[in-house]
């Protein structure tokens, strides 16, 4: 909490921060990772000549997001392609709207000042070419293939953003980027696409109202990915009327329960293989109600699958370090694809 007293108590820390961030009134360094290296809370202390050199290098050098002298016994690089699929589907199975919001998250445990080269799909089009750099504050397969339903070599990206460490000179010509990564975890890239999305699941609802005191609901869930893959953490939420008094459930797989406090039937499955289907049936008893007809909310679904629904594919990931002279083959690299549900809804 900022107060006059707290500012007075932390005067030395604030002064140090301003001294590192500004130079002659101009912002020079706002990277928290670098600032933490040089800021202390023990008050004013004498600075050695070596420390002065390090501070100057970090503030004025080209690699402000990474300090020198980093060493690891084992050089490792973890790369996660994480996509959130958003869908609104009609009761008849027509896609009304869909898009994928993707992130490429990297964990870098590399010695020295390595340069990484990262290549994606053979063909890529970026419709919105404003590649805004992200603020820097903002496993398990060693194989760089995307196991989606179909092997896609092309992807149409509506817009994308990159971390400040990325060099974009060869992005449009070679579909690759090069960068010197920050140490630890950071978001390398963020993108959005609305075209050629492989929808992992389809929900088929069938609702029949019997008079004003009974409903019959049948829900079929189909998986649309390769049989060798497994979807996990699957949950389907089927809304029920507020005047529901009793629910009889029957499901082929998983567990289903009516939660009266949430006015919904919650159907959970731990896992589901590709090209499979499962079914839930429910008989809903209703209390007589004189209020206006209930408008059914959409059925929502959440899940996690081991592929990128947009078709985003990592072609290669290479590491070069010329000073310490360790090769790309000596670096352990892991690439993982994670597809998750965003707002994934089907009208009933």
Q: Cα angle at 210 between 205 and 212, to 5 degrees?
A: 115
Q: What is the DSSP string of 249-291?
A: EEESSSEEEEEGGGTEEEEEEEEEETT-EEEEEEEEEE----S
β-strand pairing of 244-251 with 277-286: antiparallel
Tell me the chain's radius of gyration from C-alpha atoms. Answer: 27
Spatial separation of the C-alpha atoms in residues 282 and 291, rounded to whole Å = 23
Instruction: Pull the structure tokens for residue 243.
Output: 């005047």
To the question of whether residue 255 is assigned a binding role by annotation, the answer is yes
To the question of whether residue 270 is assigned a binding role by annotation, the answer is yes
Query: What's the Cα-to-Cα distance from 345 to each of 71, 86, 119, 286, 301, rounded to whole Å?
Result: 48, 8, 33, 24, 6
To the question of whether residue 253 is assigned a binding role by annotation, the answer is no
**87-113: burial string, b at 16+ Cβ within 10 Å, e else:** bebebeeeeeebbbbbbbbbbbbbbbb
H or E stretch at 179: strand 176-179
To the question of whether residue 276 is assigned a binding role by annotation, the answer is no
216 neighbors 100 (Cβ within 8 angstroms)? no
Tokens 């009516």 locate to 258
To the question of whether residue 268 is assigned a binding role by annotation, the answer is yes
- Residue 124, helix vs strand vs coil: strand
- Residue 21, helix vs strand vs coil: helix
- Residue 335, helix vs strand vs coil: strand
Binding residues, as ranges, are 255, 257, 259, 268, 270
């Amino acid at each position: 909490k900022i107060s006059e007293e707290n500012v007075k108590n932390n005067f030395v820390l604030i002064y140090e921060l301003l001294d590192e961030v500004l130079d002659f009134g101009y912002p020079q360094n706002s990277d928290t990772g670098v600032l933490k290296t040089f800021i202390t809370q023990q008050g004013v202390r004498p600075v050695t000549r070596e420390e002065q050199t390090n501070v100057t290098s970090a503030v004025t050098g080209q690699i402000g997001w990474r300090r020198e002298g980093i060493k690891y016994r084992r050089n490792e690089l973890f790369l996660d392609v994480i996509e959130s699929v958003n869908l609104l589907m009609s009761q008849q199975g027509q896609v009304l709207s869909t898009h994928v919001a993707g992130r490429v998250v990297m964990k870098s445990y590399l010695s020295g000042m390595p340069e990484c080269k990262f290549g994606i799909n053979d063909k890529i089009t970026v419709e919105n070419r404003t590649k805004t750099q992200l603020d820097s504050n903002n496993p398990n397969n060693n194989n760089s293939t995307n196991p989606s339903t179909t092997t896609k070599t092309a992807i149409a990206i509506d817009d994308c953003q990159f971390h400040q460490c990325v060099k974009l000179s060869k992005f449009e010509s070679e579909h690759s980027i090069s960068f010197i990564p920050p140490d630890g975890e950071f978001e390398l890239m963020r993108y959005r696409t609305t075209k050629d999305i492989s929808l992992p699941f389809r929900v088929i609802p069938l609702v029949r109202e019997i008079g004003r005191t009974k409903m019959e609901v049948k829900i079929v869930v189909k998986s649309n990915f390769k049989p060798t893959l497994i979807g996990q953490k699957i949950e389907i939420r089927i809304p029920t009327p507020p005047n529901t008094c009793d629910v009889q459930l029957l499901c082929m797989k998983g567990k289903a329960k009516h939660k009266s406090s949430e006015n919904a039937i919650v159907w959970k499955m731990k896992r589901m293989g590709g090209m499979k289907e499962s079914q839930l049936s429910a008989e809903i008893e209703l209390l007589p109600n004189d209020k206006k007809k209930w408008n059914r909310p959409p059925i929502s679904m959440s899940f996690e699958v081991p592929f990128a629904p947009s078709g985003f594919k990592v072609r290669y990931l290479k590491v070069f370090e010329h000073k310490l002279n360790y090769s790309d083959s000596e670096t352990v690299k892991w690439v993982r694809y994670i597809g998750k549900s965003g707002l994934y809804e089907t009208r009933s």
